[in-house]
Amino acid sequence: MNMNTIYVVLPAYNEELSIDNLFKSLQKKLEAMPFKYKVLVCEDGSTDKTADKLKYYASHLPLEILSHKYNRGLGETMRDLFERAAEIRDQLITLQSRAQKSRQK
Protein backbone atom coordinates (compact mmCIF):
# COMPACT_ATOMS: atom_id res chain seq x y z
CA MET A 1 0.00 0.00 0.00
CA ASN A 2 1.34 3.43 -0.94
CA MET A 3 1.05 5.75 2.07
CA ASN A 4 2.34 9.03 0.71
CA THR A 5 0.25 11.37 2.82
CA ILE A 6 -2.31 10.93 5.57
CA TYR A 7 -5.18 13.43 5.49
CA VAL A 8 -6.93 14.32 8.73
CA VAL A 9 -10.37 15.87 8.23
CA LEU A 10 -11.86 18.15 10.86
CA PRO A 11 -15.21 19.89 10.97
CA ALA A 12 -14.92 23.21 12.81
CA TYR A 13 -17.72 25.37 14.17
CA ASN A 14 -17.06 27.93 16.92
CA GLU A 15 -13.85 26.21 18.02
CA GLU A 16 -11.99 29.36 19.07
CA LEU A 17 -11.42 28.10 22.62
CA SER A 18 -10.37 24.55 21.74
CA ILE A 19 -8.50 24.82 18.45
CA ASP A 20 -5.11 25.80 19.91
CA ASN A 21 -4.90 22.68 22.09
CA LEU A 22 -6.17 20.51 19.26
CA PHE A 23 -3.54 21.68 16.77
CA LYS A 24 -0.69 21.52 19.29
CA SER A 25 -1.59 17.93 20.14
CA LEU A 26 -2.28 16.93 16.55
CA GLN A 27 0.95 18.45 15.26
CA LYS A 28 3.02 16.75 17.95
CA LYS A 29 1.50 13.33 17.25
CA LEU A 30 1.53 13.55 13.47
CA GLU A 31 5.07 14.88 13.20
CA ALA A 32 6.27 11.87 15.21
CA MET A 33 4.85 9.52 12.57
CA PRO A 34 6.92 8.23 9.63
CA PHE A 35 4.69 9.77 6.95
CA LYS A 36 3.62 13.13 5.61
CA TYR A 37 0.32 14.58 6.70
CA LYS A 38 -2.11 17.31 5.79
CA VAL A 39 -5.11 18.55 7.75
CA LEU A 40 -8.33 19.40 5.90
CA VAL A 41 -10.64 21.63 7.95
CA CYS A 42 -14.11 22.78 6.99
CA GLU A 43 -14.89 26.00 8.84
CA ASP A 44 -18.67 25.86 9.07
CA GLY A 45 -19.69 29.52 9.32
CA SER A 46 -18.35 30.12 12.83
CA THR A 47 -19.38 33.30 14.62
CA ASP A 48 -16.26 33.46 16.79
CA LYS A 49 -12.55 33.72 15.85
CA THR A 50 -12.24 30.14 14.53
CA ALA A 51 -11.61 31.30 10.94
CA ASP A 52 -8.82 33.67 12.06
CA LYS A 53 -7.12 30.95 14.08
CA LEU A 54 -7.34 28.53 11.15
CA LYS A 55 -5.70 31.09 8.86
CA TYR A 56 -2.87 31.40 11.37
CA TYR A 57 -2.38 27.62 11.52
CA ALA A 58 -2.55 27.35 7.73
CA SER A 59 0.55 29.56 7.56
CA HIS A 60 2.43 27.24 9.96
CA LEU A 61 1.12 23.73 9.22
CA PRO A 62 0.14 21.65 6.20
CA LEU A 63 -3.48 22.74 6.44
CA GLU A 64 -6.18 23.31 3.82
CA ILE A 65 -9.31 25.21 4.81
CA LEU A 66 -12.72 24.77 3.23
CA SER A 67 -15.20 27.45 4.27
CA HIS A 68 -18.94 27.76 4.55
CA LYS A 69 -20.29 31.30 4.59
CA TYR A 70 -23.13 30.16 6.85
CA ASN A 71 -23.43 27.25 9.27
CA ARG A 72 -24.63 24.21 7.33
CA GLY A 73 -24.32 21.59 10.04
CA LEU A 74 -22.13 18.57 10.58
CA GLY A 75 -23.63 16.48 7.79
CA GLU A 76 -22.89 18.94 4.98
CA THR A 77 -19.54 19.81 6.51
CA MET A 78 -18.43 16.17 6.58
CA ARG A 79 -19.77 15.62 3.05
CA ASP A 80 -17.67 18.53 1.78
CA LEU A 81 -14.59 17.22 3.60
CA PHE A 82 -15.06 13.70 2.20
CA GLU A 83 -15.62 15.05 -1.32
CA ARG A 84 -12.37 17.01 -1.09
CA ALA A 85 -10.54 14.01 0.34
CA ALA A 86 -11.88 11.82 -2.48
CA GLU A 87 -10.32 14.23 -4.99
CA ILE A 88 -6.95 13.72 -3.30
CA ARG A 89 -7.24 9.89 -3.01
CA ASP A 90 -4.77 9.13 -0.24
CA GLN A 91 -5.24 7.88 3.33
CA LEU A 92 -7.90 9.55 5.50
CA ILE A 93 -8.47 10.00 9.25
CA THR A 94 -11.52 11.77 10.72
CA LEU A 95 -11.58 13.52 14.09
CA GLN A 96 -13.85 15.86 15.98
CA SER A 97 -12.43 19.32 16.57
CA ARG A 98 -13.42 19.65 20.20
CA ALA A 99 -11.32 17.83 22.74
CA GLN A 100 -14.10 15.77 24.28
CA LYS A 101 -13.60 14.07 27.61
CA SER A 102 -15.13 10.67 28.17
CA ARG A 103 -17.98 10.70 30.65
CA GLN A 104 -17.53 8.74 33.84
CA LYS A 105 -20.55 7.48 35.74
Mean pLDDT over residues 8-19, rounded? 93
DSSP 4: S
The span from the CA of 68 to the CA of 5, in Å, is 25
Would you say 46 and 78 are in contact if contact means Cβ atoms under 8 Å apart?
A: no
Q: For 77-102, write each residue's pLDDT tens digit.
A: 999 998 998 888 666 666 665 544 44
What is the model's pLDDT at position 104? Answer: 40
Beta bridge partners of 6: 37, 91
Would you say 41 and 63 are in contact if contact means Cβ atoms under 8 Å apart?
A: yes
Q: What is the pTM of this model?
A: 0.79
Report how many helices (DSSP H) and strands (DSSP E) the chain contains, helices first: 3, 4
What is the model's pLDDT at position 103? Answer: 37
Q: In the chain, where are the structural domains located?
A: 1-12+44-98
Q: What percent of the chain is predicted at pLDDT more than 90?
A: 58
